[in-house]
Amino acid sequence: MPAIDEVTLHSLEGIVGVGRVLTDADSLQLYGRDWTRVHTPNPAAIILPDSIEQVQEIVRLAAVAGLAIVPSGGRSGLSAGAVACNGELVLALDRLNTIEDFNPIDRTVRCGAGVVTEQLQNYATEQGLFYPVDFASSGSSQIGGNISTNAGGIKVIRHGMTRDWVAGLKLVTGSGELLDLNRGLVKNNTGYDLRQLVIGAEGTLGVVVEATMRLARPPGELAVLVLGAPDMAAIMNVLRAYQDAIELSAFEFFSELALQKVIAHQGLQRPFDTPAEFYALLEFEQRDEATMERAMNLFEHCVEQGWVLDGVVSQSIAQAESLWRLREDISETISRWTPYKNDISTVTSRVPAFLQEVEAVVNKSYPEFEIVWFGHIGDGNVHLNILKPEDLPMAEFQQRCGEVSKWVFDIVQRYGGSISAEHGVGLLKKPYLHYSRSELEVSIMRQIKKAFDPAGIMNPGKIFD
């Protein structure tokens, strides 16, 4: 990759303005990475455009100069998809943060790629509506990044993934052309839906610069249940029992060790005294008294069947928020142990056996490692977190966990699952892509990338080489 020279830097400043091309060490470190810390950031420069036209000009310049571009949003990714470690230009989209053209009939709104998820959620609330895609990083993640990774989160069981809420998007291709895809239509059967190709492509096809997002009616009062279960099979029985009777908006799980860590480090209280191997967190809309009565009857039924050992239901908004923190604060809590994360999935019904096999493999080979489990059990997505022992050097820990990944992904492949349920492939999962995708699929992906990005400058080296 050619080095960036002063003439090119000056040309970039001519596009975005003085002070919007950053080359100082602190900026290069800040914008050149995401939440992962495996790769050392080494970008050539950080560019901060404030319009779609500026993004197009930057891409055209980069294509002529043969400079690679890494699109950067909220930098909250967990797969090194937004890491620039080979002298790339980082295209930080923070300033494309306008929200406009709200349409109350279509329930849509147009967002710049740099709009923060929480910003869109709050805007929807102000309009008497609801943006349901939600996750722990909603206060920092950006819409462009969410689209590029097809972000999921805690409401997928009812509301689906980010792709379900993208009515249209604008993409700057690798040659600097602007595609306006789907334009907010509900029905549009006119050939290939290129919008869906872009969603989840991790910036390898171009730069998402704008999106028309769908909104929904706001939910009514939400109730939260936390239930203790003796094993994962019991949790699946609870899921089936509640899904048959109540429309759930969330069904999460976490392990006893996860709960212990959160309680010890976040100043929270146990939801109830009875310890359990796993815990389920259920959220549902309390539309009337009959809904809560059904939920309580189901609780009693699950206790009688031995599926639930104990439980608690929220009595207020504050208590519901406190119960959610038991699940939502896990990632932040365990970050102090620099965990090795695996974001894996299979079909929901196979999760108990799947999780049991994975845990057995890790425990057998590395019994000294602590394993924290949590995830979105209602959609088959579990997060395996191996905590680094304090006295184990990081390099050795990463090497040993790399061995674990191969064993885990062998299991994922046997179960027809995914090595990356919602965090993307990036650099971290790239060596393991073949566990979830065939050679033919990857070959077709490469051809698609070449069509969108003929010079190969858009986030090169991510997903596949």
pLDDT at residue number 98:
98
Distance from C-alpha of 88 to C-alpha of 361, rounded to nearest angstrom: 39
Q: How many Cα neighbours within 13 Å face the side chain of 75?
A: 21
- Residue 172 pLDDT more than 90? yes
* Domain at 222-331, CATH from 3.40.640.10, 3.40.50.300, 3.40.630.40, 3.30.70.2190: 3.30.70.2190
Q: Where are the domains of the chain?
A: 6-95, 99-214, 222-331, 338-423+433-439
- Residue 2 pLDDT more than 70? no
Average pLDDT of the chain?
Answer: 95
Q: Widest CA span of the chain, in angstroms?
A: 75
According to DSSP, residue 29 is labeled: H
pLDDT tens per residue across span 3-32: 789 999 999 999 999 999 999 999 999 999
Rounded mean pLDDT, 270-279: 97
Rounded mean pLDDT, 39-67: 97
pTM of the prediction? 0.94
Distance from C-alpha of 103 to C-alpha of 447, rounded to nearest angstrom: 37
Residue range 338-423+433-439 in CATH 3.40.50.970: no
pLDDT at residue number 4:
87
Residue range 99-214 in CATH 3.30.465.10: yes
Rounded mean pLDDT, 130-144: 95
- Two domains, one topology: 99-214 and 338-423+433-439: no
Q: Which range is least confidently modeled, 97-101, 150-154, 194-198?
A: 150-154
Distance from C-alpha of 75 to C-alpha of 340, rounded to nearest angstrom: 18
pLDDT at residue number 1:
55
CA nearest neighbour of 39 among 83, 90, 98, 105: 83
According to DSSP, residue 2 is labeled: P
pLDDT tens per residue across span 362-411: 888 888 899 999 999 889 999 999 999 999 998 899 899 888 889 999 99
- Residue 104 pLDDT more than 90? yes
pLDDT tens per residue across span 252-265: 999 999 999 999 99
CATH for 6-95 is 3.30.43.10
